[in-house]
Structure 1
Amino acid sequence: MKKKKHSSNKWPSFPLWELATLGKKSSVAKMLSKQLLGLSRITHRDLSSDSYILNQKQLQEEKFFTGDRVYGEGTILVSLDRMHRGIGLLMTEAVVASGICGIKIKSVKILPEYLLHYLLWIRKYLPKHKRWTISDLKDLMIPVPPIQIQQHILTVLSKINEINEKRKKAIMLIDNYVTALYFSQFNVVKNSESFREGQLKEFVEEIELGSSFRNNEILCNIPILKGEPDLSQFEVWEENCEIDETSIKNIPLARFGDILLNIKRDRDSKENLVIIHTWSYPIAFSDEWIRIKPLANISSEYLAAFLRLEYPRISLMYRTHRLRDLSKKLSELQIYIPTQINQRLFTSMVRKVNNISKMHHQSLLASDRLNSVLNERFFQ
């Protein structure tokens, strides 16, 4: 972390230990007891996915673990784990997994939510995979404006977050609509005689594994699909130079209409697992992805919907088979293909709602930029 201890020039700064109590002290946490059965249990994964912790899965007696602590409402939780690094604010009393630091505000100078947003902002300056320690947190210098200013900052940031949550919900509803549309089409197909049944390999031209790319590797004018991509950034990609075909000769590329399937995500992941290439330029893809090129008379949208629903099986294949055998196992998946008319109808409807989804993704990208600018202005 480089930014002169991240203190602001506008407001007086205080080390966190002056403003709050950290760790496993009795004033922050209490030990588990039988009377606490039924409380939610917060894990590192829960903390990474939600900054405002409400109700998680209910804790049963057999789920007690050594090192678990109970934290009260209003406690800020910071993961000391290298992988998840989540930060959240408890909105209710909960059991918290070992390795998560509790921070309880003890000063009237600072609001818990203000500290939450400051920690969320400052976290991006922490090198990837470097974990925080309690000592790091205690010595962190926190700029503390007047309470009225803190409330104003929270009002602005919470409004942006509220709008973003509505956009994310709209995107999720569109995904659910496409799934429902597929099921309705699938039921029509199965109850009709005018469909084709076969293995996936009968309806695709090619199944190709991606390539390994270094973290800092950049291709001239070719974006690389790797890690956890932000697809909204692909929508605004600008071609700055002509593609040198010789430089990308041996690089796996996906083009318009190809399907990209992620093979290394958690089966329950909410991230993009199946993507249809809809851009005007080719993209390279890492070994986390597989490219599937449908035959000319097969709808990419229908095939992508099929792969999304089959993802639990595909995820299991990845974990139980060697990578070189994965393409073969994928090609053997059983699929029902509707008539050309029904495929065209399905494709038309999906493209219309996907265009709406793209607009929401672009709006999310703009909101993220605005949020970043405001955070720098408020906290730097």
Structure 2
Amino acid sequence: MSSTDALLGDIIKPATLRRAGTEDLPILSMTMRDGLVDQADKFKKRVASADTSAYRVVDRGQLVVGFPIDEGVLSFQRLYDSAIVSPAYDIWELLDPDLVSRGYLEYFLRSPRALSYYRAKLQGSTARRRSLPRDIFLALPVPMPPLGEQKRIAAVLDQVDTLCAKRREAISLLGNLAQSVFLNMFGDPARNPLGWPVGKVGDLLISANYGSSAKADMEGDIPVLRMNNITTSGDLDMRDLKYLSSEQVSEKHLVRAGDVLFNRTNSAELVGKSAIYRLPEEVAYAGYLVRLRVSDESHPEYLAAFLNSQYAKRVLRSMSKSIVGMANINAKEVQSIKIPIPPLAEQKRFASAITQVEAAKEPHRTHLATLDELFTSLQHRAFSGVL
């Protein structure tokens, strides 16, 4: 630890525990990319349980730490004077707000340097259940330049982060366009206005397999797709990959172009995220995902768009079961969902339209990748004292 470092425990302390009780406060959800977001804005409806009395109150300026912490799931609350979050989250506050920039501290706590520290210290044997003991979290060394320098660093990172967010928003909007094309061609699956024959998702498949339970890490020769690589808009985000060795991966745990990946375990609002894999390279997929491989009589683009429709998401959430605070849907249940089945020619026509949408996304993805590299470089320099 350098002379300008401080231990995190000298910067933050646990916030006083306050339960929501009967208070009517905004409900916030934690996301990996955007931190805390208004649940009503993100999901267009309430997805928290009806009884929020046990939810924790978080005041403006307090730090909320979710899980998995080794993927930077944490954020300062900047949206409301007071709001509520899941009781599973930890809430912290600054010991002296006049000495620390919240923006600077959040960027550091989500930086590669901090994430590497968390990963090295996690305890437990089950990947998504591993935790970081409080005393170890508070022992994290934090570089602490003067407050003015902290604010300057945060402002620089803000500029690039804003550009990244705009690119991601453009990609998401094009994803919404894909759903509009789906509804225009096939109608709302809930009503099936064009009278397509109705079957089950399983009728379209040749297999539905769970992913590998092997623990992925930062070393290995085969990339592994995990639940956080599937976005809420139905895209695959190929950043923040982990890896397995070829000896740990069998054929049933590999994804090839045209496979649809389904997120079977997540928070209640995110369970059921789905995306189609379109790249030529084979990659592995983790155990919280299900690989849906479509038969020659159906098209994977149609299945992926169906699973990302509002109708399918409502069905998925209604059939999910809560296990240890996480919503779960198994492969058998996914295959039981009713689905209109248009002729293969119509499905292929839809796939052709999606190809054009994907082509429109590509320049945004390329620019986003460049911005991400710049952001990572700036983080490294900022927290090494050379920005």
Q: TM-score, normalised by structure 1?
A: 0.70
Tell me the CA shift for residue 162 of structure 1: 0.8
Question: What is the DSSP-based 3-state SS (H/G/I as helix, E as strand, rest coil) of the residue aligned with 2:212?
Answer: coil
Q: Map 1:73-222 to 2 at 5 A.
A: 73=60, 75-79=61-65, 83=68, 86-91=73-78, 92-95=80-83, 100-104=90-94, 106=96, 108-121=98-111, 123-124=114-115, 125-127=117-119, 128=122, 129-131=130-132, 133=134, 137=138, 141-187=141-187, 190-192=192-194, 195-204=196-205, 206-216=206-216, 222=222
Instruction: Write out per-residue CA displacement over residues 35-73 of structure 1, whole angstroms, 9 at most, x where no aligned residue.
Output: x9444455xx537674466797999xx74449x5563x4
Larger radius of gyration: 1
Tell me if the contact between 1:267 and 1:315 (Cα under 8 Å) persists in the aligned partners: yes
Q: Map 1:1-380 to 2 at 5 A.
A: 4=1, 7=2, 12-15=4-7, 22-24=13-15, 37-40=23-26, 45-46=29-30, 50-51=34-35, 63-65=52-54, 68=56, 71=59, 73=60, 75-79=61-65, 83=68, 86-91=73-78, 92-95=80-83, 100-104=90-94, 106=96, 108-121=98-111, 123-124=114-115, 125-127=117-119, 128=122, 129-131=130-132, 133=134, 137=138, 141-187=141-187, 190-192=192-194, 195-204=196-205, 206-216=206-216, 222-229=222-229, 231-233=236-238, 251-269=252-270, 273-309=273-309, 310-314=312-316, 319=321, 329-380=333-384
- 2:106 partner amino acid: L
Q: TM-score, normalised by structure 2?
A: 0.69
Instruction: Quote the sequence identity (%).
Output: 19
Give RMSD over aligned pairs: 4.5
- Partners of 1:96 and 1:203 in 2: CA distance: 42
Relative distance call for 1:126 and 1:135 in structure 2 (3 A) is: closer
- 2:302 partner amino acid: Y
Tell me if the contact between 2:8 and 2:137 (Cα under 8 Å) persists in the aligned partners: no
Question: What is the DSSP-based 3-state SS (H/G/I as helix, E as strand, rest coil) of the residue aligned with 1:154?
Answer: helix
- Partners of 1:181 and 1:148 in 2: CA distance: 50
- Partners of 2:211 and 2:20 in 1: CA distance: 51
- Partners of 2:308 and 2:168 in 1: CA distance: 19
Question: What is the DSSP-based 3-state SS (H/G/I as helix, E as strand, rest coil) of the residue aligned with 2:214?
Answer: coil
- Partners of 1:21 and 1:173 in 2: CA distance: 38
Unpaired segments ≥5 residues, structure 1? 238-243
Tell me if the contact between 1:252 and 1:285 (Cα under 8 Å) persists in the aligned partners: yes
Instruction: Write out per-residue CA displacement over residues 257-316 of structure 1, whole angstroms, 9 at most, x where no aligned residue.
Output: 23232322345218x832223222333334433333334353321121112232443465
- Partners of 1:199 and 1:219 in 2: CA distance: 39
Question: What is the DSSP-based 3-state SS (H/G/I as helix, E as strand, rest coil) of the residue aligned with 2:207?
Answer: strand
Unpaired segments ≥5 residues, structure 2? 123-129, 231-235, 323-328
- Partners of 1:201 and 1:32 in 2: CA distance: 43
Tell me if the contact between 2:201 and 2:336 (Cα under 8 Å) persists in the aligned partners: yes
